[in-house]
Amino acid sequence: QVALRESGPALVKPTQTLTLTCTFSGFSLSTTGMRVGWIRQSPGKALEWLARIDWDDDKYYRPSLKTRLTVSRDTSKNQVVLTMTNMDPVDSATYFCARVVGRYSGSSGNYYYYMDVWGEGTTVTVSS
């Protein structure tokens, strides 16, 4: 059974670096086709996809946050780590990690990606 869980600090100060860990089970990120994404949700706001890391170590970042984000993996520990630098109060949010499924659509000729299993999320507040 696939499961993911986020961990990290609940409170960080402005300008600090946030480090979040996603520990997962039920799949291996070294298996072809496996992917893990990070998504956040500010209070009362919509979801925002931040980053993705794939089985071949390819990485993708939200363009507006690219200079602040780093995603990495430790396949031996079944973990994915997200770091976000220069935290600001507007970055206060619940951060989710999720397994990302990639499928090829014959009708459109595109690959599409969606999250099939989510962690419960971890809430981060940025405040001095």
Span of 10-18, 26-34, 69-77, 103-111 interacting with other proteins by CB under 8 A = 103-111
Is 89 a binder of other proteins (CB under 8 A)?
A: no
Size of the site for other proteins (CB under 8 A): 29
Is 49 a binder of other proteins (CB under 8 A)?
A: yes
Strand 59-61 versus strand 79-84 pairing type: unpaired
Distance of alpha carbon 3 from the chain centroid: 14
Distance of alpha carbon 12 from the chain centroid: 18
Q: Give yes or no for a contact between 18 and 70, defined as CB atoms under 8 angstroms apart.
A: no
| Contacts with other proteins, residue ranges (CB under 8 A) | 37, 46-52, 58, 60-63, 96, 101, 103, 105, 108-110, 112-116, 118-121
